[in-house]
Amino acid sequence: MTTTEQTSAGAQGAGSHSLEVGSARLRKEDRRLITGRTRFTDNIALPGMLHLAMVRSPVAHGRITSIDTKAALESSGVVAVLTGRDLAEQHDSLPNAWPITEDQKSPGHAAVAVDTVNFSGEVVACIIARSAAEARDAIELVDVEYDDLPVVLDIETAAAGGDLVHPDLGTNVSATWVFDSAEMGTGSDVEDAIREARDGGVLIERKYRQQRLIPAFMEPRSVVVDPTHEQVTMWSATQIPHILRLMLAMTTGIPESKLHVIAPDVGGGFGGKLQVTPEEIITLLAAQRTGRPCKYTETRSESLMAAHHGRDQVQKLTLSAKQDGTVTGLRVELLADMGAYLGLVTSGVPILGAFMFNAIYKFPAYHFSCTNVFTNKAWTDAYRGAGRPEATFAIERLMDELAAELGVDPLEIREKNWIKHEEFPFATVAGLEYDSGNYEAATEKARQLFGYDELRAEQKRRRDSNDPVQLGIGISTFTEMCGLAPSRVLGSLSYGAGGWEHAAVRMLPTGNVEVVTGSSPHGQGHETAWSQIVADKLGVPFDNIEVLHGDTQVASRGMDTYGSRSLTVGGMAVLKAADKVIDKARAIAAHMLEASPDDLEFSEGRFGVKGTDKGVAIGEVALATFAAHDLPDGVEANLDSEATFDPDNFSFPHGTHLCAIDVDTETGESRIRKYVCVDDVGTVVNPLIVEGQVHGGLVQGIAQALFEEAVYDDSGTLVTGSFVDYLVPSAPDVPEFVTDRTETRSTTNELGAKGVGEAGTIASTPAVVNAVVDALRPMGINDVEMPCTPHKVWKAIQGRSQTTPPAPSSEQSVAGTEGGVA
């Protein structure tokens, strides 16, 4: 593993002492995380607390004809059994905060099903008991009868009509959203480009499937509600305590001021905890009804079955190009599976991808349409990358297909089409403005680290010798829009919230600092990174800074953590609040030094009078505000400040990922031999955290390429309902990664930083699948559906080997343009 050490810092304010920003500090939160001094939601025990268990539907689509709760009510320890009818009056439909069109169709979504169930795993009753064991024991005693309704599972069938998931909507289509570069004035007409390509250019037409994935966070979802005080307190394993509080108020009618939401230590989320869940609402209502604290923690199987899923799209793609490899246009037609309901941002997830299919390339014509479709499966929503991995996969696979079609190196075809570093800022055909980037530098570095030419030479040798183990080389040169932010842009996409972030910085009388952030970390290390930013800014030791978060009484405002936004939006709010502390302290320091504020310079935590050795430390100023004996007129007696930051633009990290994979053509097994990535996330606050984020992201993207898939049987039952069947890779399944960085500052924030939380996931899936297909291309194979399991690879080989010789000796074989074979 190699890393480039950072030397420049985004946060100014420090002098010659070593900067915190850019140093590989160990994460301060890890002290408590690895010594068991954490408090996860399920660790919370309150006096008189009751426990909940959910009765879940075994059928995917059915009318509830009767629910008999008598036996359960008589069971040991059971206090109450609540059905959908019992709770229906107490809450509105669960929220969908992103209606993508004015005429979007959305079914009502009750926390507990009332008349019909629409996916297997939906809650039909809730048991409240003295202990978790007694609550679970009573599940089987609730007798629910269903009249089966037709089960709609296949997205293409659902989109075509026929049986309906929600007959009252009259259609399975929730909404169709279109972007066209000619209409929007961002480019030319894609149909013209396609026509021209048909008359003498190159046309690549493909259909790719993004399989359904399940966010497999380490800590399952858990919620505790205490209704015994004036304010109702909810602890939840959530990514979004602030949004959750607002949504709970809007859904249940409890005034926001009477709701206190805490996200204690949260064991991962990956987008899966960016949700307002039925279970949170049920626990809240159960606590209100019983007047006692209530707790619900899901089992792993419940988590897999009923927490929202991710991806699940069918992508129909047409890429047009000239014979010299210049891409002229791209048409994208998506079907996106919503599952049975629309969750918090379900409908908007594929739309986020709309802005990324053009990726780092500068072709002139683009058309995107997406049809959101209901099926009788768990609802989908944000999952690491949310829309952007799907888009990146499609374009990076297409670039490889174009290269194969033309018989040129896939790196060359990318270079021919990408935006050159001197062309930034760059207005894209999808209507965004990319801030900065240097694709040439990242690619060159990756190429060297990978040993690209040597590996291509080895590949040729193995192809020529008909080696049963073929070498595949996969490329992904990605970018993504992150730092989900500009409120105005989000508003133009009908997103229901803004994208700002809030922070408070308070210098205490001892000179120690409290930082309050509206971001809500659940594994990303904000306590460490925010301390580094403030340490440089205020000249205070790293260890003297405390970061508080995840509690709506402590951090009253926030937009929480998702979309790799926390550093570029939340970290910037922290930086701005720290600036205000310095401004406030300057007036007092000037008074103390009997100087004009303009004559003071602030460096390494000290105000000095220019040209003299007179000075005062900011900590002394803080103490002076506490005593307040001699403050200048009109100055507050504290060094507290707040700031809200809302950038004008997203940030666009990028990178080049290269994957070498050995594919055993006899068994179908693929083993990654070498994985190199060079990421550019602008200024790096903490290289160790960035490295960790990239590693985690890579594993998650590789998981989609090779391992994970949510599978339903024909009756709509989730087959992959445990970790025995849902294959989350562990350390032995992934290679050692070679990571490095280039550093192109973002121009959208003062730190110069770009997000990293999703980068690895977005980039790695196409790199791996491109490598698998590259290994098999001489056999006439131009696609393997994800996940590329040994069985699927083997089947692809068997399917083609009857008509195609196993391995032609040419260096680069030209594949046909029809769809894949898996």
Task: Return the number of the residue (337 or 560) whose C-beta is nearest ligand MCN.
Answer: 560
β-pair type (365-374, 426-427) = unpaired
Identity of the residue, 238 or 376, whose beta carbon is nearer to ligand MCN in the bound complex: 238
H or E, element range at 280 = helix 278-290
Contact pattern for ligand MCN over residues 598 through 637, marking x by CB under 6 A: ----------------------------------------
Q: Which is nearer to ligand MCN, 201 or 220 (CB)?
A: 220
Q: Which two tokens stand for residue 264?
A: 């204690």
Closest of 224, 246, 227 to residue 45, by C-alpha: 224
Taking CB under 6 A as the criterion, the residue among 244, 281, 756, 768 binding ligand MCN is 756
Residue closer to ligand MCN by CB (options 383, 607) is 383
Of 338 and 681, which has the nearer Cβ to ligand MCN? 681
Dihedral (CA of 241, 246, 247, 248) sign:
positive
Least distance CB 743 / ligand MCN (angstroms): 9
Binding residue count for ligand MCN, defined by CB under 6 A: 36
Q: Which strand (E) or helix (H) includes residue 526?
A: helix 526-538
Q: Who's near 296: CB < 8 A, 6+ residues apart?
A: 51, 52, 53, 54, 222, 223, 279, 282, 283
Distance in angstroms (rounded) separating the CA atoms of residues 47 and 291? 12
Stretch that binds ligand MCN, among 49-57, 164-172, 672-680, 690-698 (CB under 6 A): 690-698
- Using the rule CB under 6 A, give the single segment among 84-92, 344-352, 635-643, 688-696 that binds ligand MCN: 688-696
Q: Which of 360, 690, 703, 793 binds ligand MCN (CB under 6 A)?
A: 690
Q: How far is the CB of 310 from ligand MCN (least distance, A)?
A: 10
Closer CB to ligand MCN, 595 or 694, in the complex: 694
- Cβ proximity to ligand MCN: between 641 and 746 the closer is 746
Q: Does 685 contact ligand MCN by CB under 6 A?
A: yes
Q: Among residues 690, 632, 754, 535, which one has the least CA distance to residue 21?
A: 535
Instruction: Give Dmax over CA atoms of the chain in angstroms.
Output: 92
Residue list 758-787, contact with ligand MCN (CB under 6 A): 758
Secondary structure letter of residue 565 according to DSSP: -
Nearer residue to ligand MCN within complex by CB, 605 or 696 = 696
Answer for which of 201, 539, 682, 716 binds ligand MCN (CB under 6 A) is: 682
Helix (H) or strand (E) holding 206, with range, is: strand 202-213
Residues 6+ apart with CB under 8 A from 499: 484, 485, 486, 487, 489, 490, 559, 565, 569, 646
Q: How far is the CB of 22 from ligand MCN (least distance, A)?
A: 9
Query: Is residue 429 a contact residue for ligand MCN (CB under 6 A)?
Result: no
Site for ligand MCN in 545-604 (CB under 6 A): 561-567, 571
Q: Can you name the residues that pair with 617 across neighbouring β-strands?
A: 606
The residue within the footprint of ligand MCN, chosen from 520, 686, 720, 789 (CB under 6 A), is 686
Q: How far apart are CA 165 and CA 340, in angstroms?
A: 7
Q: Which is closer to ligand MCN, CB of 526 or CB of 777? A: 526
Beta carbon nearer to ligand MCN, 402 or 751: 751
Q: What beta strand segments (E) does 535-680 contain?
A: 545-548, 600-603, 606-609, 615-617, 639-645, 654-664, 670-680
Give the HSE-up count for residue 446: Cα atoms under 13 Å, Cβ half-sphere.
32
DSSP assignments along 350-413, one per residue = HHHHHTTTTTTB--SEEEEEEEEEE-SSPPB---TTTTHHHHHHHHHHHHHHHHHHHTS-HHHH
In the structure, how many helices (H) and strands (E) does the chain have? Answer: 22, 28
Q: Which is nearer to ligand MCN, 561 or 720 (CB)?
A: 561
Binding mask 640-679 for ligand MCN (x = CB under 6 A): ----------------------------------------
Exactly one of 139, 178, 228, 268 binds ligand MCN (CB under 6 A); that residue is 268
d(CA 659, CA 418): 20
Rule CB under 6 A: is residue 696 a binding residue for ligand MCN? yes
Q: At 497, which amino acid appears?
A: A
**Considering only residues 201-230, where is the footprint of ligand MCN by CB under 6 A?**
217
Instruction: Find the shortest distance in angstroms from Cβ 756 to ligand MCN.
Output: 4
**Closer residue to ligand MCN in complex, CB, 138/274:** 274
Instruction: Note whether 744 binds ligand MCN by CB under 6 A.
Output: no
Q: How far is the CB of 388 from ligand MCN (least distance, A)?
A: 10
695 near ligand MCN, rule: CB under 6 A: no
Q: Does 693 bind ligand MCN (CB under 6 A)?
A: yes
Distance of CA 700 to CAs 342, 543, 566, 758, Å?
24, 33, 20, 9
Strands of 545-605 (E only): list them: 545-548, 600-603
- CA neighbor of 208 nearest in space, from 396, 48, 16: 396
Draw the binding track, 377-416, toward ligand MCN (x: CB under 6 A; -: no contact): -------x--------------------------------
- Rounded to the nearest whole angstrom, what is the least distance from the CB of residue 656 to ligand MCN in the complex? 17
d(CA 229, CA 262): 15
Instruction: Report how far residue 321's alpha carbon sits from residue 815's, in angstroms, rounded to the nearest whole number.
Output: 16
CB nearer ligand MCN, residue 520 or residue 770: 520
Nearest approach, Cβ of residue 271 and ligand MCN (Å) = 5
With b for 16 or more beta-carbon neighbours within 10 A and e for fewer, the 493-528 pattern comes to ebbbbebbbbbbbbbbeebbbbbbbbbbbbbbbbbb
With respect to ligand MCN, which residue has the nearer C-beta, 318 or 686?
A: 686
Residue in 235, 270, 363, 500 binding ligand MCN, rule: CB under 6 A: 270
639 contributes a contact to ligand MCN by CB under 6 A: no
Which region among 369-377, 716-724, 753-761, 764-772 touches ligand MCN (by CB under 6 A)? 753-761
Query: Helix, strand or coil for residue 254?
Result: coil
Site for ligand MCN in 506-545 (CB under 6 A): 522-526, 529
In angstroms, the CA 223 to CA 263 distance is 9
Residue whose CB is less far from ligand MCN, 51 or 565: 565
List interacting residues with ligand MCN (CB under 6 A): 217, 268-271, 384, 522-526, 529, 561-567, 571, 681-686, 689-690, 693, 696, 753-758
